[in-house]
Structure 1
Amino acid sequence: MGATRRSAPRPEVPSPERAVESPSPAAPYEPSFLLQTMLDVKESIGKLDAKLDRLSSDYNKQETELRNIEKAMIMAKALLAAIFVVVPLCGTVLWWAVGGKIEQIRDGVIDKGAEAAAQKAVDPVVKPPQAPAKK
């Protein structure tokens, strides 16, 4: 029973010469990098400002077009009101004013037509109308 116990490998300990070595320090502070970043941000803000101005002008154009469409809709509603309300109302008033006279004229035409038909039935020869005598 001579089982030997094997231990986990030990981490390697650096030699004293290697322990003193350290990675090179980070790049020194460079103000031009910060300046370049600020200039890029300023350029991006300028582009956004230009796009915002264009968006504002496009909005104003759309608002004008919508107002024109709204005016056209109001005019269309007024025209429909005139067609379906005012015109029949005026027709009713006109018929009330002159409808009796129109019915008299209609009845006179119908009566003359009936007389002419009765005359034709009695006298089949139709005499042409005579011109009025000159004085």
Structure 2
Amino acid sequence: MLSTAQVQLPADSAMVAGAALRTFFNIADVWRLNVEQAMVLLGLDSRSTYFKWKKNPETASLNTDKLERLSYIFGIYKALQILLPKPEAADGWLHKPNQAALFSGQTALQRMLSGRVADLYVVRQYLDAQCGWA
């Protein structure tokens, strides 16, 4: 039996993978992430895979773990754009210490960089609640 992380998308999903990764790399630029931080958010261990995907995103094979991570990242980005309409505020929020119980004085980015999908989920859930969606 395959685990969820091993299930691959059909081959015709190259366009979806390409669009998703292009969006991710644009968000990573706006958020001022370095390569290592972007790799952690994507759940990647291989720098060569990271740079291959960045150069040719359509060649990526995204399993459900990667898609789940991307979904949470896109949701976090969207919620920040809604909550903080000024781009510099929205894009800088991840880097500012946060006194909410969820963060305990750390930045949201520090929480997201634990490497666990669950931490992406809780940051998104927190922001969704701030938007009134949860």
Alignment TM-score, normalising by the size of structure 1: 0.18
Q: Which has the higher contact order (CA 8 A, sep 6+)?
A: 2
- Larger Cα Rg: Structure 1 or Structure 2? 1
